Amino acid sequence: MTLTKSVSAYQQRHSCVCFLDRWHPLSTGLCHTGVSIAAMERLAFCYPHSLTCLPDFVGSLSGLKILDLGYCFHLPAIPEALGLLSNLQELHINNGWDLTHLPDSLGSLTALRKLILSCCYSLTHLPDSLGSLTALEEININNCRSLIRVQDSICSLPALKKLGDSCCLMIKDLPASLSLLPAITELCVNDSLLQHIPSSIGVLSTLTKLTLSWCSSITHFPDSISALHALELLDLSWCPRLTHIPDSIGALCALKALILDGCKKLKKLPASIGLLTALKRLRMQWCTAIICFPESLGDLSVLEVFDLRGCYSLTSLPDSMDSLRALTVFNLRECSSLCSVKASTAEKFAHTFGATFKIGAPCDSRAMEIIVDTERRDGNSFMSLLPRDVTVTCMRPYLRYHVELTFQSFNWS
């Protein structure tokens, strides 16, 4: 039987559709168009609910570059013949609920660049042969609930740039040999039982994005973070046991975004936060234990977004905030304990909206979005608390106001 007829018979038997790419279904009619199935580059299995094994013809697709096994719910294993696909560059396995392991022959896919494993609930481990994939640039493991660890062999991948691990609830540790990844730029570990971050993470000099969100067991961050000079995004959101940020964070000279939402035991930021001269976005929503900020906050000269929504223990803001000349969005909704920040000199403008804070300087005119509650607990509306020197245009009455500050007419006495 020809390869074309094998594919056609397979589709009829399993009531599924095989795609030459994501848009063109394989059929017996392809043999009349001059298309060579043996030379096909893309193959996707679309909703083959009854599939319990891959067909024999897959190992014969020597020209295949992309293999997409989507919604193969009851596929328990992938045959060793997978290793025959010497030109395969991308392997996607999505919703392989019954898949328990990957074949050792996976290590023979020397051209593989991307490996995506999503919702493989029964997958318990990855093959050690994974370390032989010298061309692999991206591994994305999502919602593989039974996966208990990340193999050390992954750390021997010389081309790996992106390593993602989300909702793998059983993973408690990262390999200590992370330092052996010379090319990695993105490391994302989200929603896991990760208990600590290895100090070897500081050796990843090429890392630009580090995400460790929803890791409920993390209590601290290693001082070795200071060596991540290329890091641009640090996301530690919803790590409810994180108690402090190390002083060494001030060495992250390239950091543009720091996300600390939901770190409910974090009481303060280190004074070294002011050394982050490239920081543009600081998000700390629902950091309910934070009380105040260091004066060095005013040294963040390029900070554009400062989001403090839900910081209901926050009682004051530093006087240095008037130095944040680039600030365009300042979210103070549900900061119910914030009292006041009084102007210490005539050169500082005090602006009252239930809590008082200072921005700007004499002879300065600019626009700024301030997000606050429209009604305070004492019953006074936000509008009634504004001084007459502030022009207010209502954008979304139930959410926020756009506040345009004009200083030229203000009497500095």
Q: Identity (one letter) of the amino acid at 320?
A: S
| Distance separating alpha carbons of residues 196 and 245, to the nearest angstrom | 14
Half-sphere exposure of 373 (CA within 13 A, CB side): 20
CA separation (Å) from 196 to 132, 182, 261? 28, 22, 19
Is-contact 100 76, C-beta < 8 A? Answer: yes
pTM, rounded to two decimals = 0.80
Ordered by where they begin, the domains of the chain are 1-191 (3.80.10.10)
Alpha-carbon distance of 12 to 5, in angstroms, equals 11
Is the four-CA dihedral 213, 219, 223, 224 of positive or negative sign? negative
On whether the CB atoms of residues 74 and 49 are closer than 8 A, the answer is yes
Q: SS3 sequence, 185-240?
A: CEEEEECCCCCCCCHHHHHCCCCCEEECCCCCCCCCCCHHHHHCCCCCEEECCCCC
pLDDT of residue 349: 31
- Give Rg (Cα) of the chain: 28
Q: Which residue is associated with the tokens 């119910």? A: 336
pLDDT of 373: 56
The confidence score (pLDDT) of residue 372 equals 58
User: Which residues in the chain show pLDDT less than 70?
Assistant: 1-38, 46-50, 339-413
Q: Give which of 200, 77, 190, 112 is closest to 144, Cα–Cα.
A: 190
Q: What are phi and psi of 377, to 5 degrees?
A: -65, -25
pLDDT of 40: 79
Amino acid at 3: L
Judge whether 361 and 349 are in contact, CB under 8 Å. Answer: yes
Q: What is the pLDDT of residues 180-215, one digit of tens each?
A: 899 999 999 998 888 888 888 999 999 999 999 999
What is the pLDDT at residue 327? 86
Taking alpha carbons only, the member of 295, 303, 307 closest to residue 331 is 307
Q: Return d(Cα 182, Cα 291) in angstroms, integer.
A: 40
Burial of 392 (0-12, 13-18, 19+ CB in 10 A): middle
CA dist., res. 384 & res. 290, Å (int): 28
DSSP per residue, 282-349: EE-TT-TT-----GGGGG-TT--EEE-TT-TT-----GGGGG-TT--EEE-TT-TT-------STTS-
CA distances from residue 390 to 301, 324, 378, 386 in whole angstroms, order as listed: 24, 19, 22, 7
